[in-house]
Structure 1
Amino acid sequence: MLERGRAVHSRALDLLAQSASMMLEASSINEPFKAYFQDFRAGRRSALPDDFAEEELIFFEDIVNEISEPLLKARLADLLWLLRKPKNPEHAKIAIDSYISQPIDDEAWLRGLNDCWERAARLCLQTRDFDRLEKIKARLFSAFCSECPRTKFMSLWLADLLDKLKIDNDFKEDIASSLGEKASDLKKNGDFHAARSYFELAAKKYRQCSDDNGWLESLVAIAQCFELEADSRSSGSNMVANSFYENAIQSYRKIPTKHREVYGVEERIRVIRDKIAVSGKASLEEMGFVSTPGIDISDMVEQSIEHVSGKQSAEEALMYFTGLFGGPEYEKHSESAKEILKKSFLSSLFGSSHMSSDGRVIAKTPAMNLRAGEDDPANQAALHRQVQQQFSIEIQIVVEGQIMPALRQLLMEHRFTKEIMVAACHYSPIVPQGRESMLGHALWLGFEYEFGLAIHLLCPQVEHIVRSQLKGIGAHTSNIDKEGIENENGLSSLMELPEALNLYGKDLVFEMKSVFTDSLGFNLRNEVAHGLLDDDSSLSIQSVYAWWMVLRLVMRSIMIGSPNRQ
């Protein structure tokens, strides 16, 4: 067109090419489009959404309804939904309809069709377009139920997408049983790799359905597949077989201790250890050298949405978002717990053990000493247990009734980029210098609903913030062992320092302990440090609240000020 002297047409085609060049990152809410290439050394990259000027977006808006090619139409409508202010839900609807206008096909699925369907579903969730979401659910589940002889993984991919989007509650039992049946057939046919993939997702779905038998049998089957594949590989390569035997043991160890006797797990582990010893020795000869409770919270939900909606900027909305809840009041919980203990006389006569999900005892509290006063250690322990229960109930209501509804509303109205969160950390007086980017990235992950990743980054950073602030007021935050070596104290020890109470006050100290270090509370710092959070627990109410709590502390510190950074 340019050679023909039609500069306007050339410019239009160039804009469309730029819009089409970006890669779709379907899992991201705020940054769904990535540059096709980036050359950091030369400072060059291909197009990104923020490159488009207002008049270019107006051009897209003028032509979007005239476009017949579904992928291009979806791309322009999606860009308009992402960038235009105020947001127009019609743009999202056009994008959704265009994304799902293509039939579900196994050959096209991994060439980008999967991202189209995922992005469409996420737009439905973001805009609360539940009618379209129901259609997406129905079509994905129908495709899951259909036979696809050309691709043995198609059912797995579809089930995985439904699970990732968390839109399969209506038929998760059917999905679990179907996955289990396909996995068993693959196992019988000797396709152990594919069988394991199906069993792994089946185990997850059975767990979501509270089907312990299906879950445990799937875990056992995964370990059996590793062992059977190791047996089949040993004739070709003992080195390869050895690695599969090790994986078999690790898989058996995922079965909770309390269930291992039923499935003969310990005996299987002993047998596999013998096989590892044999294959390990044989591997030496193969080696060669290489060069390399249900309550109605609807009013609370509506009030929370109203509280954060209609703000002029993302920064202003953040301030309102972090003002939803001021944190727990320890004295209020303590008084409530005392009343409950007085009314629950029988339960006070017995101690209690607190167990993790795999059957380990992680804490014990004694029975109340009815002959002693409130200061008795046993009575204090019982009171503390009840206070933690009260706190847990409050946080569940806060997360489900305030934080999550408000967060969904924020994402309907604004974009929250990493740059915004890093800037917030830069201006926050509680964030130590040199930690702004890391902490800002962790906080941004919450706006992507990646709370599991966020909490793994936040826990050590919270500990560093506390340590830095305590050092700033002269507290001793380390200990010296018998060898004269100085070691930094962990967050649990830091929060026990009297200076912590003076610095933060009773309510915040209680909140910090309950969220991060108390074994009767959420105990997230220690759960993260010891690698005990799985995918489900890292996306729990506790993780959502911990993320929001740190965001609240950062944003509030900007408003009220704090001592200079340490």
Structure 2
Amino acid sequence: MERIERAFRLERQFKNNKKVVFQHIEAVLECYEGEDYLWPSIQLMELLQEHKCGEPAKYAALAEKAATLAESIYNWEIARRFWSIKAVWHCMDKDYSKERAASMSAAETYFKEADSAVKRTPQSYMVASHFLEQAVKAFRSIRGTKEETVDAKARAEELHRLLLQYQEKSRNEMMTISHKMDISKVVEEAINWVRDKDFKEALLALSVLAVPTNVSKLKQEVQQDAHKSLGSHLVPNVIINEMGKTVANQPDSVFSSNPKKAEAATNFYMCRKAIDYYKLQAQAYIEPARYQINLEHCVRLNDILFIVSNSPFIPPEREYLFAKGLYAGLTGDFFTSTHILIPQIENSIRYIMWQRGIITSKLDDNGIQDEFSLSKSLAHSEITSIFEENTLFDLKCLLVEHAGSNLRNRMAHGLIRDGEFRSPLMSYLWCLTLRLCCLPILIHQQQVEQSNTSTDAI
């Protein structure tokens, strides 16, 4: 096949009037008569189509015959290729009605492949869901006017509904993978970190336990993992929710030759590893320390006010909201703390940007000025002048990244279930917010300590 393709390209390039290679290709296709349901006819027809050669009506009929034969032996991929080739022949012949019909047949092979997956033994709704998703995309991409594609859009809608059913059933095919880790020593360290301190000192000590992710180190770990386990990074990684719906997927490979795609894939894996880090940090450090503070102190809402009173992170007339959210988290009510703090974090980021002279709202043709979303704010080119790299990564990963926990969007749309509010992620988010509010006090303490050290040296 490679020699035929090379010879044909040379013949076209030098405009050989004898068309010996072209005639040979036609002879081969006529010999198969559409009964070749494997690759030779596919490659030869696609080669002719690439160079706008051949008789469209004649080869469309052969492609249909081959597609039908491939379907009869359940070779859906080959059938799909032949239906798509038939569609191209009709397009070359400007018979757009038949082109759409062939494209519909090509799209339908995805459904047939999905149907085969649930009828076989053992059945797989996960595999079926993959092919149904492809079917929906294929039907939606069929060309034509609104009136001409009514049937295609209706079929896409029908299969989308079936996809949702299959995705929910696919959850039963998943396995839980876990491993044990002894964190008793670090738990004791966290407890001792806040033990026997007065409340203010203990709370400030707790705030630094939400150590920001070391982005440079995390990126290095992802790249090392990729080289150690090549296979796992070449196979697409998909994240699904409790309903079996796909909420994120690996955009490309870490090894992609395209720098942007490689960076996107690296960021995907960085978010996945960071989520595990947040959970471990919360379980090993934050929660034991929080529990110890509540054991030693009878905390009231007013006790939190010293943090929120003059924090540059908190806009005017938002102090009580932050105090309420921080108090709720400190006492273990992450239902309340999460619902209060996430929208307030979003507003605080816009507030700080606005103070720096950065426009944080749109202005449309009707004069309406909608505020920037959190995703847009965190992606702003000047946001790095406000947050250092590690904290910025944590905010994105926790709140808006689909490969992360995407808490802002999931909470705003009511997608977080009751049990998830008891997740270590909510504890980590609460402690991160506490640290952002406490930073001025922590910085002042550090400056005093450095000053005292300098004085002692003198």
User: Which category describes the TM-score, using the shorter chain as reference length?
Assistant: 0.5 to 0.7
Matches within 5 A, 1:531-542: 531-542=414-425
Aligned counterpart in structure 1 of residue 310 of structure 2, from 406, 420, 427: 427
Match of 1:501 in 2: 384
CA distance in 2 between partners of 1:341 and 1:422 (Å): 47
| Alignment deviations for residues 154-205 of structure 1 (CA, whole Å, 9 cap, x no partner) | xxxxxxxxxxxxxxxxxxxxxxxxxxxxxxxxxxxxxxxxxxxxxxxxxxxx
Shift of 1:384: 1.1
Shift of 1:369: 6.7
Shift of 1:261: 7.9
| Alignment deviations for residues 24-81 of structure 1 (CA, whole Å, 9 cap, x no partner) | xxxxxxxxxxxxxxxxxxxxxxxxxxxxxxxxxxxxxxxxxxxxxxxxxxxxxxxxxx
Shift of 1:397: 1.4
Q: Does 1:308 align with 2:194?
A: yes
Shift of 1:438: 1.1
CA distance in 2 between partners of 1:506 and 1:462 (Å): 17
1:423–1:440 Cα contact (<8 Å) kept: no
Match of 1:444 in 2: 327
CA distance in 2 between partners of 1:412 and 1:401 (Å): 17
Q: AA paired with 1:366?
A: P
| Alignment deviations for residues 212-236 of structure 1 (CA, whole Å, 9 cap, x no partner) | xxxxxxxxxxxxxxxxxxxxxxxxx
Structure with the larger RCO, 1 or 2 (CA within 8 Å, 6+ apart): 2
Q: AA paired with 2:246?
A: V
Matches within 5 A, 1:36-55: none
Shift of 1:394: 1.2
| Alignment deviations for residues 229-288 of structure 1 (CA, whole Å, 9 cap, x no partner) | xxxxxxxxxxxxxxxxxxxxxxxx9xx8447789xxxxxxxxxxxxxxxxxxxxxxxxxx
Aligned counterpart in structure 1 of residue 226 of structure 2, from 336, 341, 347: 341
1:355–1:362 Cα contact (<8 Å) kept: yes
CA distance in 2 between partners of 1:347 and 1:407 (Å): 38
Name the CA shift for 1:259/1:302 in 2 (closer, same or farther; >3 Å). Answer: same
SS state at 1:362 partner: strand
Matches within 5 A, 1:242-391: 257-258=165-166, 293-311=179-197, 313-368=198-253, 370=255, 372=257, 375-377=259-261, 379-391=262-274
1:442–1:454 Cα contact (<8 Å) kept: yes
Match of 2:396 in 1: 513
Matches within 5 A, 1:128-147: none
Q: AA paired with 1:298?
A: S
SS state at 1:294 partner: coil
| Alignment deviations for residues 506-549 of structure 1 (CA, whole Å, 9 cap, x no partner) | 11110110111111111111111111112111221111111111
Shift of 1:319: 1.1
Query: TM-score, normalised on structure 2?
Result: 0.57
Q: AA paired with 1:535?
A: D
1:352–1:367 Cα contact (<8 Å) kept: no
CA distance in 2 between partners of 1:457 and 1:420 (Å): 18
CA distance in 2 between partners of 1:261 and 1:437 (Å): 45
| Alignment deviations for residues 88-110 of structure 1 (CA, whole Å, 9 cap, x no partner) | xxxxxxxxxxxxxxxxxxxxxxx
Name the CA shift for 1:427/1:383 in 2 (closer, same or farther; >3 Å). Answer: same
Q: AA paired with 2:192?
A: E
Shift of 1:310: 0.9
Match of 2:406 in 1: 523
CA distance in 2 between partners of 1:416 and 1:556 (Å): 21
CA distance in 1 between partners of 2:185 and 2:168 (Å): 46
CA distance in 2 between partners of 1:404 and 1:367 (Å): 36
CA distance in 2 between partners of 1:453 and 1:258 (Å): 34
1:369–1:376 Cα contact (<8 Å) kept: no
| Alignment deviations for residues 361-389 of structure 1 (CA, whole Å, 9 cap, x no partner) | 1122234174616x241x22221121112
CA distance in 1 between partners of 2:278 and 2:165 (Å): 30
CA distance in 2 between partners of 1:438 and 1:367 (Å): 41
More displaced, 429-438 or 552-561?
552-561
| Alignment deviations for residues 96-150 of structure 1 (CA, whole Å, 9 cap, x no partner) | xxxxxxxxxxxxxxxxxxxxxxxxxxxxxxxxxxxxxxxxxxxxxxxxxxxxxxx
Gaps of 5+ in 2: 1-160, 171-178, 445-458
Work out which of the two has the higher radius of gyration on C-alpha atoms and give 1 or 2: 2
Gaps of 5+ in 1: 1-252, 263-292, 562-566
SS state at 2:238 partner: strand
Shift of 1:559: 2.9
Name the CA shift for 1:260/1:512 in 2 (closer, same or farther; >3 Å). Answer: closer
Name the CA shift for 1:329/1:487 in 2 (closer, same or farther; >3 Å). Answer: same
Query: TM-score, normalised on structure 1?
Result: 0.46
